[in-house]
C-alpha cells in the first residue's frame, strides 16, 4: 500500500470515528435531558417553574423543594415526606439482596459441583420462574403472607423479593460456577473438606464478579419495584409507592419542584450503585459465559 493510500485510510478512519463519537454524544445528551430537567427545576421556586421555560437554569437557587420532599411533603394523609419510606426501602433491600445472593450462590454450587438425579429439571424449573409475570403471583403470595402473618410488613416484602429473585441469582451463579474446574472440588473432597468448607474456601473467594452482578441486578429490581410494594406493603410501603402517593396527594397547586426532587431522591440509590459498581456488571456476566 502506498503512502498516499495509507494517509487516506487514516483520514477516513478519523472522520468515521469523529462521526461515531458525535452520534454517541447526541444520544447521551438526549438520554440525560430528563435528568437535567428534573435537576434544574428541583432547585427553582415554584413560581419560576410555572412562569415557563423549564429548560433554563434557576434564577434563584433554593433547596426548599428537596427539604420538603424529604421531610414535610404530604404523602397520602400524613406530611412525613419521603424519609420514613426511604428507610423502609433500605430495610427491605439490604436483607433481600443479601439473602437472595447467598441462596443463589449455594444453589449454583450444588447444581454444578454436587450433581444429583434430576438436577437439570430443578434448574429448568428455577429458570422458568424468571419468566413468571409479577401479576400471576400476587394472589398466591398474598395467601402465603397472610398465613405467615407477614402481610403489610417489611419482612413480608423481603420474603416476596427473595422468592422472586432466587431464580435469577441461581442462573447467574450456576453459569459462573459451571466454568470453574470441578477437579479442584474433587481434590478438596479427597483432602477431607466438606460441603460448606469447599464453598467457603474455594468457590466463594472467586465469586466476586458474579456476586457484583447479582447484587446490582437484585438491588435495582427490588428498589424500583412498585407492584409488590403497593400490593403487600401496607403501612410499610417502600420509596416507589411513596413517590406515587406524593404526586397523587397534591391538591390545588401542583408542586412540581417537590415532585422533581422526590423523583431524584428515589432514583439516587440505584444511580449511585451503577456509578460505583456498574463497570463490573458486564465483566461479571462475561466471566461465566465461556467455559475453559
Residues 37 and 158 in one domain: no
Domain housing 35: 2-67
Average pLDDT rounded to a whole number, residues 95-100: 96
Statement to judge: residues 96 and 17 lie in one domain: no
Q: Is a pLDDT exceeding 60 seen at residue 66?
A: yes
Confidence label for 292 from pLDDT (cuts 50, 70 and 90): very low
Residue 201 is assigned to a structural domain of this protein: yes
Q: What tens digit of pLDDT does each residue of 114-143 get?
A: 888 888 898 888 888 888 888 888 898 999
CATH code for position 210: 1.10.3720.10
- Residue whose grid cell is 427490588: 222
Q: What residues pair up with 78 in beta bridges, in sequence order?
A: 75
Retrieve residue 234's grid coordinates: 401496607
Measured in whole angstroms, the distance separating CA 161 from the mean position of its chain's CA atoms is: 12
Average pLDDT for residues 209-229, to the nearest whole number? 91
- Is 78 a domain residue? no
Q: Could you give the number of structural domains in the chain?
A: 2
Of 67, 93, 117, the position where a domain reaches its end is 67
Task: Report the chain's mean pLDDT, rounded to a whole number.
Answer: 86
pLDDT (tens digit, 9 = 90+) per residue, 22-37? 999 999 999 899 999 9
Q: Give yes or no: residues 181 and 127 share one domain.
A: yes
User: Which of residues 67, 98, 119 is at a domain's end?
Assistant: 67
Asked if 97 and 63 sit in the same domain, the reply is no
pLDDT in tens, 161-198: 999 999 999 999 998 998 888 888 889 888 888 888 98
pLDDT at 50 over 90: no
φ/ψ of 173, rounded to 5, equals -70, -35
Domain-terminating residue out of 39, 67, 95: 67
Asked whether the beta carbons of 85 and 71 are under 8 A apart, the reply is no
User: What pTM does this model have?
Assistant: 0.84
* Distance (Å, whole) CA 50 – CA 197: 64
**Do 58 and 128 reside in the same domain of the chain?**
no
What dihedral do alpha carbons 160, 166, 172, 175 form, nearest 10°? -160
Residue-level pLDDT at 51: 81
Regarding whether 97 and 57 lie in a shared domain, the answer is: no
Q: Could you tell me which residues are beta bridge partners of residue 75? A: 78
Q: Which residues have a Cβ under 8 Å from the Cβ of 3 and sit 6 or more positions away? A: none
Cell numbers of 266, please?
428515589
Q: 44 and 130 in one domain?
A: no
Q: Does residue 117 lie in a domain region?
A: yes
Range scoring the smallest mean pLDDT among 26-40, 104-118, 248-262:
248-262
Q: Flag whether 264 is in a domain.
A: yes
Is 194 found in the same domain as 134? yes
Rounded to whole angstroms, how far apart are CA atoms 172 and 121? Answer: 17
Amino acid at each position: 500500500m502506498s503512502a498516499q493510500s495509507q494517509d487516506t485510510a487514516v483520514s477516513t478512519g478519523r472522520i468515521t470515528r469523529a462521526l461515531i463519537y458525535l452520534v454517541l454524544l447526541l444520544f447521551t445528551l438526549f438520554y440525560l435531558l430528563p435528568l437535567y430537567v428534573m435537576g434544574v427545576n428541583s432547585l427553582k421556586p415554584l413560581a419560576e417553574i410555572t412562569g415557563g421555560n423549564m429548560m433554563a437554569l434557576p434564577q434563584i437557587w433554593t433547596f426548599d423543594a428537596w427539604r420538603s420532599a424529604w421531610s414535610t411533603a404530604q404523602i397520602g394523609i400524613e406530611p412525613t415526606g419521603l424519609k420514613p419510606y426511604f428507610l423502609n426501602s433500605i430495610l427491605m433491600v439490604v436483607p433481600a439482596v443479601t439473602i437472595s445472593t447467598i441462596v443463589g450462590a449455594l444453589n449454583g454450587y450444588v447444581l454444578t459441583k454436587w450433581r444429583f438425579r434430576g438436577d437439570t429439571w430443578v434448574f429448568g424449573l428455577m429458570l422458568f420462574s424468571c419468566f413468571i409475570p409479577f401479576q400471576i403471583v400476587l394472589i398466591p403470595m398474598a395467601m402465603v403472607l397472610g398465613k405467615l402473618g407477614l402481610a403489610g410488613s417489611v419482612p413480608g416484602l423481603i420474603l416476596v423479593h427473595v422468592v422472586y429473585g432466587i431464580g435469577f441469582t441461581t442462573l447467574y451463579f450456576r453459569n459462573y460456577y459451571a466454568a470453574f474446574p470441578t477437579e479442584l472440588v474433587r481434590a478438596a473432597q479427597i483432602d477431607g473438606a466438606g460441603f460448606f468448607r469447599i464453598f467457603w474456601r474455594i468457590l466463594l473467594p472467586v465469586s466476586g464478579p458474579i456476586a457484583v452482578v447479582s447484587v446490582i441486578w437484585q438491588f435495582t429490581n427490588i428498589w424500583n419495584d412498585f407492584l409488590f410494594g403497593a400490593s403487600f406493603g401496607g403501612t410499610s410501603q417502600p420509596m416507589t409507592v411513596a413517590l406515587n402517593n406524593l404526586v397523587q396527594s397534591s391538591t390545588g397547586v401542583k408542586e412540581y419542584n417537590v415532585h422533581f426532587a422526590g423523583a431524584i431522591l428515589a432514583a439516587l440509590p440505584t444511580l449511585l450503585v451503577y456509578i460505583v459498581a456498574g463497570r463490573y456488571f458486564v465483566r461479571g456476566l462475561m466471566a461465566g459465559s465461556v467455559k475453559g
